[in-house]
């Protein structure tokens, strides 16, 4: 089997592996930057639902559910770094895209909220 046939047969699996590898790498990168971001006054935003946030959250995070983010942008200054989290990193990834399109420059997705714990 040549490479082209192998790629045609397994591209969905390869794409999935690449996606999860990127999420893992990016999360590690943001986690390493977190102490410096906190020194810069970063705002830590958890975009999970209010119920999810109430059942467990990291100290210092504020809860702005993803579905409310567009109407609550005034709570997040554009001049301050923003670190986003959720349950898996997917909603916080969507929130990052939203903030970027609204003119926020320093936006980071750490992935799961529990990464703020330690």
CB 35 within 8 A of CB 74: no
DSSP secondary structure code for residue 76 in this structure = S
pLDDT higher at 118 or 81? 81
Is the overall model pTM greater than 0.85, yes or no? no
Q: What is the largest CA-CA distance in the chain?
A: 56
CB 43 within 8 A of CB 60: no
Find, among 82, 41, 44, the residue nearest to 63 by Cα. Answer: 44
Within a 10 A sphere around the Cβ of 113, how many other Cβ atoms? 25
pLDDT tens, position by position, 65-116: 999 999 999 999 999 999 999 998 899 999 999 999 999 999 999 988 888 7
Total number of domains constituting the chain: 1
CB 45 within 8 A of CB 86: no
The boundaries of the domain holding residue 59 are: 3-117
CATH code, 25: 3.40.250.10
DSSP secondary structure code for residue 42 in this structure = -
Whether residue 37 is predicted with pLDDT greater than 70 in this model: the reply is yes
């Amino acid at each position: 089997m040549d490479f082209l046939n192998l790629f045609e047969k397994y591209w969905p699996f390869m794409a999935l592996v690449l996606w999860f590898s990127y999420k893992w790498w990016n999360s590690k990168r943001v986690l390493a930057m977190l102490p410096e971001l906190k020194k810069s006054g970063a705002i830590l935003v958890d975009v999970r639902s209010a119920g999810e946030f109430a059942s467990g959250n990291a100290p210092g995070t504020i809860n702005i559910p993803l579905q409310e983010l567009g109407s609550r942008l005034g709570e997040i200054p554009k001049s301050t770094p923003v670190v986003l989290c959720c349950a898996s990193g997917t909603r916080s990834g969507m929130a990052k895209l939203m903030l970027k399109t609204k003119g926020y420059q320093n936006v980071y997705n750490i992935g799961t909220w529990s990464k703020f714990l330690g």
